[in-house]
Amino acid sequence: MLRARRQRVRGSAALCAVAALVLGACVSATSGEWTAQQAAQAENVEALIEAGDAAGARAAFALLAPRADQTGRAAALERRIGALELEPFEPSLLAANEALAAGDDELARAILAYARARRPAGAALATLERLDAVLVGRELLRFVRLELRARTVPGAERARVELVGRNDGAAAVVLECSGASLDGLATALTTQGAEQRTAQRLTVDALDRLVLEPGREVRVPLGEFPAATRGCVAVRSTWKLTPAGTVARINGFEIPAQEVQALSNDWVLVDPRFPPGAITPQELADYVRRGAPSMAGLLERTVRVAPERRAEALDVLTPALLDRPLLEIARAAPVLRWLSGERLGDSFEPDGVALRAWLVERAARRAAPSVDEPLGLPQAASGARSGAGEANVDGR
């Protein structure tokens, strides 16, 4: 019951946020005194509000004709009318808002249709239309395909990042988000197994106004970024494009900005002296089973695993590593870090005991996919730490 009450409170707060956009539209700091005639009209409005006559109060309020310096006083009165208009529709609008938040558009549409049949007016109608706009916007957004791509600039150790959009619908779509941030994290893996990271954030206007014609692909360049591999085995750059603000518009319909999901891309540039092409996860596991005689050879094989097969590589690498001594497991710390994509703190040290336990736990979770909590690499060494041999792992 307590959980249900909390859900109702959260849902009510969300609905209030929507309604506040309607009720607070006329808020001003000015609140000049009413004239004698206006005071009588305002008194009549207040009497109608007390009587519960929302339609009458709204009609009487329309005759008030406030001056520019009276907008604050008028807005306070109009908020009371709006609250009265919302009151009989609040349960339905709250339920529709919760259905939208849960992604149950069919239920939200049915609830809003029921509420509309009861002829809402004023603030209730405006709130209903804002919720209905989310449904329309989602339907339009369903045909929009957005992708973040990063490609190597030919002949240069640079990444070219771009937004690619496509509209699979039958009508043109105009997507507007007021600003977006492009976050980049470049991770360089050195020949000793250490990691060096560089982060940056840019504000881009790629989503300010994106026009997508039916069946056509649009490319919006976001920039070129250096990724030198000198002294490194490989450089991996992870990019993320996130809409800014709280509201987006699609063909004029307002939707929450989070409906336009953040986009990400993982791009890797390996040492150009390496053999071309990717290797299979099994090839990496076979090398580990042979004792991985060369750290350089181990890291080379690690970074040549295709990004989409890194989880698979961890799967096949687990039994191979569990058959090896703790010293070799500790030595493979940079491999596990690269494949898992973990960002580790300064306390990280190559610990064979902790890493072995992590491999066992990860394998158990993979066998029981119902466990959805993320499993991070161990952050600190255990009491019975094994050395890393020739691997110098930098936890930065």
Q: Is the pLDDT of residue 354 over 60?
A: yes
pTM to 2 decimal places: 0.67
Is residue 69 within 8 Å of 30, Cβ to Cβ? yes
State the Cα–Cα distance between residues 82 and 256, nearest whole angstrom: 23
Closest C-alpha among 286, 291, 315 to residue 389 = 291
Q: Is the pLDDT of residue 118 over 90?
A: yes
Residues of the chain with CATH 2.60.40: 144-270
Tokens of 142: 């369903």
Confidence (pLDDT) at 300 = 95
Q: Is the pLDDT of residue 289 over 90?
A: yes
Give the whole-number percent of the chain exceeding pLDDT 90.
Answer: 45
Confidence grade of residue 76 (pLDDT, cut at 50, 70, 90): confident
Q: What is the per-residue pLDDT across 24-47, written as a single tens digit (0 to 9) for each?
A: 544 444 557 888 888 888 889 899
12 or 217: whose pLDDT is higher? 217
Q: What is the per-residue pLDDT across 366-376, written as a single tens digit (0 to 9) for each?
A: 887 665 556 66
- Rounded to the nearest 10 degrees, the angle between the axes of helix 281-289 and helix 295-303 is 160
Range 144-270 has CATH code 1.10.10: no
